[in-house]
Amino acid sequence: MVPIKHANPQDLVNALAADDSSIRLKAALAAGTDPDPALADILVARCGVETDFYVRDMLTWALTRLPSDITVPLLRAELSAVNAQARSQALHTLSKIGDAAAWPAITRSLLRDADDEVARSAWRAAAVLVPEGQERDLAEELAAQLGRGDREVQLSLSRALVALGDVIEPTLRAAMASPDPGVHAHAKATEQLLRDPDAAFELAVHQAKRIFALGREPED
C-alpha cells in the first residue's frame, strides 16, 4: 500500500475524515510512516469515531510510533469518554504502547464496564500493564466477572487471566466452588486453558457444565 503524500498536516487530517475507508487507511499509514507529534490529538480523536476495523488498527499503530509521554495522557483522557468506542480503542492502544504510566488509569469501573468491548479491552490492557506483585489482586478482580457474556467475551476474560500465569490458580479454585454453573464452567475452562493453551475453549466450557450438572466426572 502506497501511503498518502501530503504537503502539510491538514491534508492528512482531511484524508483521515474521507468518506472512502481506503483513503482513511492510507492516511493512517502515512501518519505512522512519518510520525508527527502535532497530530497525536487528531489520531486519538479519530480512533473514537472510526467505523472501519482496519483503519482503527492502523491508527493505533500510528499512535505507537509517537512518544508515549505525548500519547499516554491523551489516551488516558479518553477513558472517561461517554463514547464506548473511544474508551475501548484507547484501552487497546494503551495495551499496545505498554507504558506503565497508564496502569493507574485502568480502574475497576473500566474492568467492569457495562459495554463488553470496553471491558474486554480493559482486561487485555490490565494483563499487559499490571505491575509486578499485583497480579493476584488483578486476578481476583477479573475473576469476579467469570460467567459474563457470550463465548467471545468469556474467552477474552480467560485469556487475560491466563496471561497472569500460575498466580491465578487459587482464584480459579475458589471460582470453581461457586454454586453458579456458569461461573464454575468458565473457571474450569480457564484452568484448562492455563494448562493447555491450545485447548478448545468452547468444548472445555461444555464439558465443565456437564460435570457440574452430573456432580461428578462423566463415565466414558
Type and span of the H or E element at 15:
helix 9-16
* pLDDT the model gives residue 199: 67
Q: What is the pLDDT of residues 118-152, one digit of tens each?
A: 999 999 999 999 999 999 999 999 999 999 999 89
Number of CB atoms found within 10 A of residue 181's CB = 15
Alpha-carbon distance 215 to 212, whole Å? 5
Alpha-carbon distance 82 to 84, whole Å? 6
pLDDT of 34 strictly over 50: yes
* pLDDT the model gives residue 10: 84
Check residues 198 and 103 and name the one with the higher pLDDT.
Answer: 103
pLDDT of 37 strictly over 50: yes
Q: Are 166 and 194 in contact (CB under 8 A)?
A: yes
Burial of 198 (0-12, 13-18, 19+ CB in 10 A): exposed
Taking residues 146-161, report their average pLDDT.
94
Q: What is the pLDDT of residues 47-84, one digit of tens each?
A: 999 999 999 999 999 999 999 999 999 999 999 999 99
Its pTM stands at: 0.86
